Amino acid sequence: MAAFFVTGTDTDAGKTAVTAGLLRAFARAGVPARAVKPVQTGCVERAHGLEAPDVEVWNKAGGEGKALYAFRLPCSPHLAARLEGARLDASSVAEACRASVAREGVTLFEGAGGLYVPLNERESMLDLMRELRFPALLVVANRLGCLNHALLSLDALERAGVRVAGMVLCRVSPPGLADAGTSPEAESLILQDNAVSLEREGEKRGVPLLADIPYQARHDPDDAGFWDALADRLQRAAFTLAGDGDEKNDAEALLAFDRAHLWHPYSSAMKPLPALEVTGAAGARLFLRDGRSLVDGMSSWWCRVHGYGNPRLVRALQRQAATLSHVMFGGLTHKPAVELCRRLLRLLPSGLEHVFLADSGSVAVEVAMKMALQFWQAAGREKKRRFVALRGAYHGDTLGAMSLCDPVTGMHALFSGALPEQIFVERPTCRFDRPYDPASFASMEATLRERADEVAAVVVEPVAQGAGGMWFYHPGYLRDLRALCDELGVLLIADEIATGFGRTGRMFACEWAGVSPDVMCVGKALTGGMMTLSAVAATRRVAEVISGADASRGGGAFMHGPTFMGNPLACVVACASVDELCASPWRDRVRHIQETLERELTPCRAFSGVTDVRVLGAIGVVEMASPVDVEAWQDFFVSRGAWIRPFGRTVYVMPPFVISDEELRMLTEAVRGAVASAASHGGTPVSDGREGEALC
């Protein structure tokens, strides 16, 4: 099974003739092939309905094809659809295209016009290609200026992440139509040089010139000899495309190398869990090498709030990469970092005024801990060197951050003696969806009142504990904690790496309690999952105390400086992500996801083995009585077209905010199906043979 997108440098570049000739070449070689026109304009009314002119040409060549969206007026898809009261969007057209990929052989999708022909007021044919991620065949009209058009098209395809399988040079106008003053001899030299130059430029980019088709007058399109001659010219192209789609051996070699040498997270190097090869992604979908697509219920571990391939983020990254990809942040600054911090300070809880840019979530927690320690040292309170954390907490995998993770469900026992010993209190027992019980704060209050003199800070995940069990606690607990920290002189550090940027239904989870921490960590969705970046924001008091003391007391300068601090690529993408979030109806989207998850996951309570179902914002959790077999559950989910990776006793989904209703339903049905199957098979779901959604 292979699919390619036939596009051109312009309208009338020869795409339809090339597609027809390829269909003829495939047929003669015994390769099953079909063509699909995603959008056809200029259709003719016939007795049997609208007839697509390009499909008619393919039929004359002996090929098989169809048009997915057909309109009458011969103009851009956007205008033709609008005049007939319809609206095209890249996502829905791409979905229809994937459903049209043949299970065997080659499927050719022929675009309309060039790359930037509009589908709607925001999206073009290139956006459709970006969504599909099919390799492209670029048809270049061989005429004066074609090299410029071809290279600009190749640049655009590369920026869009679309691999170009090859080019076909096609002479579409008869000889003698050169510009005034150009002799036939000069015109011939120009066309020949176009071919040589295009082949040379293609070699530089790894894009072969597969055919150079001279002008062929179509005296009789019903003449089989005409199409055979064209197929002869395209034989190499057909052979290359057919071989390009046969990647079984490459895929097996890639996975074998992965198993032998790549060490995946939370996995054995010698006995790794199976890994699936992802070849592309768009929206809420992951596309696998074998043709299946999976709905991503993990948001790539909680960061892909905008889904995959968001044009604003992609363009921001590409523009910045061509200008300034990285520069040290010591003694230097740049606009992306400044603009990002401006945006953050407008969004963060009040009182947070100073931003330190770090590499990742774990490093952000390390930075926050160092800030707290240096703060108290600079203040002359050197004994305040311990941290208080909640049981059920997870704050990262580096040593300092790991010391704040639950000592039982975390990794303390494995690294006993190497980690700093912190102070743990019972996690809040008051559920988010129940009335607040002040008694649930008793353990924290008793601990802080007894040990405040040695405590530098309390570190919490506000309202929603993540990888420690997906526990949602009442905002009242956070309000009481803020008040007690103020009373006893203890800093409050909020780890919003997983909860920030709308995941719980508020921009930041601290907003549920109406409190501001002394230090806040953000990451993950900060860049929309495009790049690794985190930020640590502190109050003016924290910054002034650290900066105001003399060096003998640990003051004057904050002692941390990552090499990639303030990386311009990451900062500019984070700016784009924040802008995209703020411009979107994210509150409505998260509210809708929450309502759907509540409705669709609540029936899981009825199955044996389930101890709880809870939902907060765009997080849905089914808690099991016993730890799950990750491999078995994951295999079941993949068989249902869903990418869900449980851990411990927790089966959960945290989808991208842009997920469609149908995709969200696929996730909830997969969870319900797995829970029901596990209840019938001793706690482990057994696939019923249903296959995950394929591209065909």
Q: How far is CA 501 from CA 109, 308, 311, 339, in A?
A: 38, 17, 19, 17
Q: Which residue has the tokens 């309109």?
A: 71
Question: From the candidates 250, 266, 588, 661, which is the catalytic residue?
Answer: 266
Q: Judge whether 237 and 166 are in contact, CB under 8 Å.
A: yes
Question: From the candidates 394, 436, 473, 652, which is the catalytic residue?
Answer: 394
DSSP letters of 133-149?
---EEEEEE-STTHHHH
At residue 497, the 3 state secondary structure works out as: coil
Q: How far is CA 246 from CA 213, 242, 625, 630, in A?
A: 26, 7, 45, 31
Q: Judge whether 326 and 564 are in contact, CB under 8 Å.
A: yes
**H or E element: which one contains 537?**
strand 534-539
Strands 44-46 vs 610-616: parallel, antiparallel or unpaired: unpaired
E strands, 214-367, are 278-282, 285-288, 293-296, 352-358
CA dihedral of 94, 97, 103, 105, whole degrees rounded to 10: -110
Residues facing residue 7 across a β-bridge: 138
Question: From the candidates 127, 359, 480, 495, which is the catalytic residue?
Answer: 495
Q: How far is CA 634 from CA 145, 248, 611, 640, 671, in A?
A: 53, 23, 20, 10, 10
> Which amino acid would we find at residue 210?
L
- C-alpha 374/C-alpha 372 separation (Å) is 6
Sheet holding 610-616, edge to edge: 610-616, 619-624, 650-653
DSSP H helices, 379-428, are 399-402
- Tokens read off for 407: 């000592």
524 among known catalytic residues: yes
**H or E element: which one contains 7?**
strand 2-8
Q: Cα 626 from chain centroid?
A: 31
495 among known catalytic residues: yes
E strands, 88-193, are 106-110, 136-141, 164-170
- Tokens read off for 221: 């399109």
> Which amino acid would we find at residue 450?
E
- Tokens read off for 146: 């074609």
436 among known catalytic residues: no
Q: Cα 147 from chain centroid?
A: 34
Residues facing residue 40 across a β-bridge: 70
394 among known catalytic residues: yes
625, with CB counted inside 10 A (0-12, 13-18, 19+), is: exposed
Q: Which residue has the tokens 């192209």?
A: 237
Q: Which residue has the tokens 């198993």?
A: 259
- C-alpha 26/C-alpha 237 separation (Å) is 10
Q: Judge whether 213 and 169 are in contact, CB under 8 Å.
A: yes
Q: How many helices (H) and strands (E) does the chain have?
A: 22, 25
Q: Judge whether 470 and 615 are in contact, CB under 8 Å.
A: no
From the list 305, 353, 362, the residue with the least C-alpha distance to 534 is: 362
602, with CB counted inside 10 A (0-12, 13-18, 19+), is: middle
- C-alpha 320/C-alpha 306 separation (Å) is 20
From the list 508, 494, 509, 529, the residue with the least C-alpha distance to 302 is: 529
- Tokens read off for 263: 């060490």
Q: Which residues are catalytic?
A: 266, 394, 495, 524
